[in-house]
Amino acid sequence: MSDEGLAVIGVTACNQQIGLHPFNIVGEKYLLGIADATQGWPLVIPALGHCPAETILPRLDGLLFTGSPSNIEPHHYDGVASDPDTLHDPKRDATNLPLLKAAIDAGVPVLAICRGFQEMNVVYGGSLHQKLHEVGDYIEHREDKTADVEVQYGLSHPLKIEPGGLLHEAWGRNLAEVNSVHTQGVDRLGVGLRPEAYAPDGLIEAFSVKDAKNFALGVQFHPEWKVLENPFYRSIFSAFSQACQARAAQRKR
């Protein structure tokens, strides 16, 4: 495909202090997920604490909301205060929460991964378990931080996919295997979100926005990880890509 046929897909950044200066950073795996597994090119959206959504959204063909080591500040969902050592990113919260809702309302295709998935739940009025491993009978969803990255992002548990949703349409099957590298998860599901898949312990691992004008899918796992080597992960990016391409064609008309 020529450069002229590439969709422009925004990829959200994190605001992180490195040494004496704040940086906006994006994990390369998300950028490669777009560059390698879609007919699009990534454009980094900085987390500056605000975003001129009305200006940038008409110029985008899709938006990917990334994962992050940081957690959403719990006051956004009326949660209890986090432990003192919890990593937060208030500028990302201030940028992404309004941008995500604006993008979906504007009909921009959205794929939200891990923290992005949690952002989508919070935007629609949902809440989060801050420490799944301390709640009920949930299985261990955290990665082994002492393990090699290949092990951390390796397949961890099965996924039960609900029929009739975006994920089932993309994959065409009821089961898949996914990685699991998260501490937080859905407590109360946001209003207007449709569960798309569950972990064996009943935790919601994917959802879509029921009345969205376009593709709007959130997943708790990481399909961007070596996406070209995993047919299930690739099917997610392919469905997202198709929606972005359709929007790109519409914008050109």
Active site residue 222: yes
Under 8 Å between Cβ of 88 and 73: yes
32: amino acid identity, one letter? L
Under 8 Å between Cβ of 184 and 71: yes
Active site residue 88: no
Active site residue 224: yes
Under DSSP, is residue 54 helix (H, G, I), strand (E, B) or coil? helix
**Residues facing residue 178 across a β-bridge:** 157
Alpha helices in 27-129 (DSSP H): 28-37, 53-56, 90-105, 115-123
What is the dihedral sign for C-alpha 79, 126, 106, 13? positive
Among candidate residues 114, 182, 196, 205, the one labeled active-site is 114
Q: Any residues with CB less than 8 A from the CB of 39 and at least 6 apart, and which?
A: 1, 5, 6, 7, 241, 244, 245
In this structure, the dihedral spanned by the alpha carbons of residues 17, 52, 190 and 248, taken in order and rounded to 10 degrees, is -110
Q: How many CB atoms lie within 10 A of CB 80?
A: 8
Among candidate residues 51, 182, 222, 244, the one labeled active-site is 222
Lookup result for tokens 């599901």:
189
Among candidate residues 73, 119, 196, 224, the one labeled active-site is 224
| Residue positions annotated with a catalytic role | 114, 222, 224
